[in-house]
Structure 1
Amino acid sequence: MDLGQWLSLASICLLGAMSPGPSLAVVINAALRGGRNAGIIAALSHGIATGLYGVLTVTGLAVLIASSPTVFLLFQIAGGLYLIYLGVKSLRSEGAGPLTEQQDQDARGAAVSGFLVAFLNPKLAIFMVALFAQFLRPEAPIIEKGIMAFTVGAVDGAWYCLMALLVSHPLFFDRLQQNSRNIDRVFGVILIALALTVLFRALA
């Protein structure tokens, strides 16, 4: 893979990451509730899950997810139910209070949410299979495959880290946090609507 091909791969990954969806809502919510550190950890966890799909693709396992109706359906249902859980949690939230040192340092919830919202999205498998088919040569050495898998995760994580940094910037953070209860409700409605759409399509 030459530099031009790598730049093309990275650009497509960036465009995919920039598409609005539940991932962006989860990262922003983590940043508002737990501060910059929580937002960044959610973003990096999302990038790790995306990179894991890259690894599954180069090893051929993502093809199983993308081509097996049963496996794909199970992932869709699990992902939809998890989005409903996140949505209900947001709707029931009382909003983000002032940050404490413990809240700012406790990143476990942000890490889990960031990882699962990506990993339980089987459309990532389809995206990766289609993307890698354009760039991955059958005879490609393992290091080239590793670079490709790392690229998709790094680009994804970097984009969502940028979003977390923007949301947690003092210029925006205080105002957003003051309205966090309303923002939580909006995110809750969006996540539940997306979940119902996913489940409806999966079970139709």
Structure 2
Amino acid sequence: MNELTILTTLAVVHFVALMSPGPDFALVVQNATRYGRQTGLYIALGLSCGILLHSILSLTGISYLVHQQPIVFALLQLAGGSYLSYLGYGALKASWSSLRQPKINHTEAAQPSLLLSNRREAFSRGFATNILNPKALVFFVSLMSSLVPASMSLSGKGIALVILWSLSLLWFSFLAWVLSTQRMQNKIKAMAVYINLLCGLLFTVIGVTILWQSLLAIAQRF
């Protein structure tokens, strides 16, 4: 395949993966619907920067080396699973509090204790959610090794990185923008607590699954 074909295929595969439900998708939905556009956009920026770092590490072979070291990869799984479980616990706890006190309105519920109160915090949560997800590491190792040949030019690899980063930023920003419009906010206001609950369950299930896999991998080594 020529470089144009490779880059087009890479863009299509990556975009399809972006639209698939997962921790990144759930994080944008959860926070854009609950806390608004600015939080959603900075989470989108954090997620896309995490994807950029994963892409760079995969292109340089660092991610492959990590994946080939069972203990190191298991420890990454342990960290990632713990973080996603932590996000799930926080979301479930907030949802439970809201369901027990339904008279608290949406604005009052988003107090500083729960609200991502600044841009840095929103960006950091997006970045950490993506970079600590071991499934993302495996995806990018597979994507780069199967679609980007070692013989590809440096400019071609640079364009591939730009494509992966820009598609991620555009998709997650679009999602955050749509979910935070006034019309959409009015429609989902009554369902916000259930969206948060669903996202919390997704984080928890994925996090616990990753934790279980990491513990099994560590146990098999000893």
Structure 2 length normalisation: TM-score? 0.82
Within-5 A mapping of 1:1-204: 2-93=3-94, 94=97, 96-97=106-107, 106-204=118-216
Query: What is the alpha-carbon distance in structure 1 between the residues aligned to residue 122 and residue 33 of structure 2?
Result: 11
| Preserved contact between residue 27 and residue 39 of structure 1 (Cα < 8 Å) | yes
Number of equivalent positions: 203
Alpha-carbon distance change, 157 to 99 in structure 1, aligned in 2, over 3 angstroms:
farther
Question: Partner of 1:198: helix, strand, or coil?
Answer: helix
Q: Per the alignment, in what secondary structure is the counterpart of residue 200 of structure 2?
A: helix
Structure 1 CA distance for aligned equivalents of residues 141 and 80 of structure 2 = 19
Equivalent AA in structure 2 for residue 97 of structure 1: T
**Cα distance in structure 1, aligned partners of 2:177 and 2:109:** 16
SS of aligned partner of 1:97: helix
SS in 2 for 1:179: helix
User: Are 2:3 and 2:156, in contact at CA under 8 Å, matched by a contact in 1?
Assistant: no
In structure 2, how many angstroms separate the alpha carbons of the residues matched to 1:55 and 1:163?
Answer: 25
Over 3 Å counting, the alpha-carbon distance change for 1:11 and 1:99 in structure 2 is: farther
Q: For 1:125 and 1:185, locate their aligned partners in 2 and report how far apart those are by CA, in whole Å.
A: 27
| Letter paired with 1:16 | A
Q: Secondary structure at the match of 2:36?
A: helix
Report the 3-state secondary structure (helix = DSSP H, G, I; strand = E; otherwise coil) of the residue aligned with 2:107: coil
Distance 1:131 1:81 in 2: 25
The CA deviation at 1:49 is: 0.4
Q: Structure 1 residues 183, 13: closer, same or farther in 2, change over 3 A?
A: same
| Bigger Rg, which one | 2
Percent identity reads: 29
Output the TM-score relative to the length of structure 1. Answer: 0.88
